[in-house]
Amino acid sequence: MKILKILFVFFLSVGIGYSQYKDLGVEFGLIPTRVFGNNGASDVFQSGNRESTIGGGFFGFQTGLLLKSVFQISESGISIPFGFEYVFYRAAHRVPLAPNVTLYINHNIDVPTLTLGLRYPLFKLPFANVKFYSELDALGNFVGKSNYKIRIDYESFDSTSIRSVSNKDFAFRFGLGFKAGFLGEIVHPWYANLFASVSYLNLLGKNNKRGELLTPDPRYETIENPVYNFQIAVSLMYKF
């Protein structure tokens, strides 16, 4: 959360400092994020094989936030988006082990990401001032600690066993993302941005000793495989 506060103050300062320029926009929104690839992040926590890796358990879309400054650098609409994304990876599973015995597993990782890109308008639609664009982004991913919590409830004995572990520390990875979307005017100076993106989180900086990037335990892991994200979202942009 400290990183989040620092970035918020930074972008607020940028917005105030450059608000007199018509070529600046501030973009914000929610970015549902789904991780994919052969990297264990979306696998089940534990299979029947005792010597198998422990999956991250991140099924489906995860919650994410986006905040960017967008600087237009040409009359044709070419712009440079600079900002950050924050994805909250959360997994919670409930497994009945026996009559009146239930296992609860939680796994959490936060990943703030600094982004710097180039947005290029490809063509303009003949209505509502809508442009279709493509964007290439460089990503600096700050992968937080893996927090893994196991709770077993013994209902017959009114007893609970809780164990929390953090076997993987903070890591930093360089990545690359590609985005395509539609940017259209709602009511000036407000714009809506409908987009889809695919990103490669750990393009540079892999560490095989740490194991997979988004799993809770390095046991039985001998390599850090590529981690990919898919996002589809609608954000809002205010143009100064």
Q: CA-based Rg of the chain, rounded to a whole angstrom?
A: 21
Distance CA 232, CA 165 (A): 32
Work out the average pLDDT over 86-97.
91
pLDDT digits (tens, 9 = 90+) for 199-210: 999 999 999 999
49 pLDDT tier (thresholds 50, 70, 90):
low
Span 180-193, mean pLDDT? 95
Tell me the C-alpha distance between 130 and 195, whole Å.
13
Q: What pLDDT score does 47 carry?
A: 53
Mean pLDDT within 143-168: 84
Confidence at 20, pLDDT banded by 50, 70, 90: very low
- Give mean pLDDT, residues 70-94: 94
> Residue 230: is its pLDDT beyond 70?
yes
Delimit the domains of the chain by residue range: 2-239
Output the pLDDT for position 7: 54
- Encoding tokens for residue 98? 């026996």
Residue 164 contacts residue 107 (beta carbons within 8 Å):
no
The length of the chain is 240
Q: Which DSSP symbol is given to 55?
A: P
Give the pairing of strands 63-72 and 101-124.
unpaired
pTM: 0.85
CATH of domain 2-239: 2.40.160.20
Q: Is residue 18 over pLDDT 90?
A: no
Mean pLDDT of the chain: 88
